[in-house]
Amino acid sequence: MKIYKEKIDFKSTTQLEFVDLTDRVEDIVERSGIRQGQVLVFAQHTTLGIVINHNESMLLQDFMRVLYKFAPVDDQYSHDLFELRRDKKADGRSNGHSHCKALVTGVSETVPIEKGRMILSDIQSIFAVEFDGARKRDVVVQVTGE
């Protein structure tokens, strides 16, 4: 059993953004030398999601709209009432809505690998979904198998 890890660094440019990481994950799978197994894409963040879907620019607008409806940025979030929070690590960002969105997308995806490549269909892309940009971000890519 072989385990190989790399990080992907990127910079989001807007508050809500779908960043397509498919090619960079594919490169890491290739560098791992692993022919059969799995790749885990994991975000060490609480306002960034990892999802797999179709990279079609107008569809991405639809995703943003339904996620907005689920947790509108212009609602009131207790998390944003800094005066009342006892949490030492508050970073002063009004990002209650961002955490809520990340709750439903999840922070990881696992993709099977066969013959050295991810088993993804032509229209599947792996996205990091920025819910609280613009920011520098990184994502862990761990390949396991043989």
Q: What is the contact surface with a second copy in residues (CB under 8 A)?
A: 1, 3, 5, 36-38, 40, 42, 44-46, 51-54, 56-59, 61-63, 66-67, 69-71, 77-79, 81, 84-87, 89-90, 96, 99-100, 102-112, 114, 119-124, 140, 142, 144-146
Torsion-angle region of 89 (φ positive above 0: left; ψ -120 to 50: alpha; else: beta)? alpha
Q: Of 14 and 57, which has the nearer Cβ to a second copy? A: 57
Please, what is the minimum distance in Å from the beta carbon of residue 134 to a second copy? 19
Q: Of 58 and 74, which has the nearer Cβ to a second copy? A: 58
* Bond preceding residue 128 cis, omega within 30 of 0: no
* Per-position DSSP letters for 51-110, written without gaps between them: EEE---HHHHHHHHHHHHHHS-TTS--GGG-GGG---TT--S---HHHHHHHHHH-SEEE
| Distance (Å) of CA 10 to CA 24, 44, 102, 104 | 11, 13, 18, 22
Q: Of 13 and 61, which has the nearer Cβ to a second copy? A: 61
Please, what is the minimum distance in Å from the beta carbon of residue 122 to a second copy? 7
Q: Of 15 and 138, which has the nearer Cβ to a second copy? A: 138
Please, what is the minimum distance in Å from the beta carbon of residue 106 to a second copy? 6
Taking the C-alpha atoms of residue 140 and residue 83, their distance in angstroms, rounded to an integer, is 34
> Which residues, at least 6 apart from 24, have a Cβ–Cβ distance to it below 8 Å?
8, 141
Please, what is the minimum distance in Å from the beta carbon of residue 30 to a second copy? 18
Please, what is the minimum distance in Å from the beta carbon of residue 28 to a second copy? 13
Q: Of 15 and 144, which has the nearer Cβ to a second copy? A: 144
